[in-house]
Copies of this chain bind each other. A is one copy, B any other.
Amino acid sequence: MFRISEFARLSRTSARMLRHYDELGLLKPSFVDPSSGYRFYSTAQLPTLQRILAFQDMGLSLFEIAQLLAQPLSNTALLQKLEAKVVDLERDLERRQMQLSAVRARLEGLRRSGDEGYEVVLRPQRAQLMLGRRLEFTDELDLGATFDALEALAAKHEARAFAPPLVVYHDETREVEAAIPLRFQIPDSSGVVVFTLPAESNVACVIHTGGYDALPNATTALLEWVDRNGYRAVGSLREVYLRFGSSTPVQVPTGFLASTSSELVTELQLPVAKGRD
């Protein structure tokens, strides 16, 4: 019989850990002095403790270990648990590797050109019903008037969703599509289409503040990030107007309008996937 710290030393644990395992019912002392409350352990308990520590090394929680030890050592239960754990660990590992490569890519960028002030984030995106109009990509396109018309139509049906307007750059057809989010389907009208912006599992996003003349810098930063982090584009570039100006009085949800060009906020989005191919 060993006192708690002696036993802890033998098993390279700590008295606190042993008390914790006692409390959780994972490993009860083989004897407890009724008057002093002293815990006494026997070497016969070492194998159990070793199992606990081994499972812990494999990333199991004490709760999971307790479940395994409670059952009379069922091999199939153990197999299942460990198989599930492998999947967990693989997922986790992948996440960590992406973290690491993200930090490395960032360091690379910092060393080469200093901090450009653009943060690129990757996130999934849900599908969204939109009302849009396609325009040819010329220098004279009047996005303002287009958005005004779209907003007026949405307002008439009270179908405007609380989300910012955007344009999609369809490079293949050399078209620009201006669109605003809808809460529900509305009847077709001439020149406009109701469509669903599809859900994407990975969208690389960057936020640009200020006038549109500096937007190309943000685009460059976004494309560089995509390249440096081993992704490739799998969709069209989108410009989302989180805060925009308007010269005409227009019906948009509260909060989206900016009064000066320095208050403009635009998000560039690009659907991407892993791999260079």
By a beta-carbon cutoff of 8 Å, the part of chain A in contact with chain B is 1-2, 6, 9-10, 12, 43-44, 46-47, 50-51, 53-54, 57-59, 73, 75, 78-79, 82-83, 85-86, 89-90, 92-93, 96-97, 99-100, 102-104, 106-107, 110-111, 114-115, 117, 119-123, 162-164, 206-207, 209, 242-243, 254-255, 258, 263, 265, 267
Main secondary structure of the interface of A (DSSP, over half): helix
A117 surroundings in chain B (CB, below 8 A): 47
Q: A58 touches which one: B103, B164, B206 (CB < 8 A)?
A: B103
With both chains docked as a complex, state the minimum distance between the C-beta of A232 and any C-beta of chain B, in angstroms. Answer: 20
- Residue of A6, A51, A103, A206 ringed by the most chain B CB atoms within 10 A: A103
With both chains docked as a complex, state the minimum distance between the C-beta of A225 and any C-beta of chain B, in angstroms. Answer: 10
Q: Can you list 21 A-B contacts (CB < 8 A)?
A: A2-B255, A10-B164, A10-B242, A43-B265, A44-B265, A46-B209, A46-B267, A47-B207, A47-B265, A50-B121, A53-B121, A57-B99, A57-B102, A58-B99, A58-B102, A58-B103, A82-B110, A90-B100, A92-B96, A93-B96, A93-B100
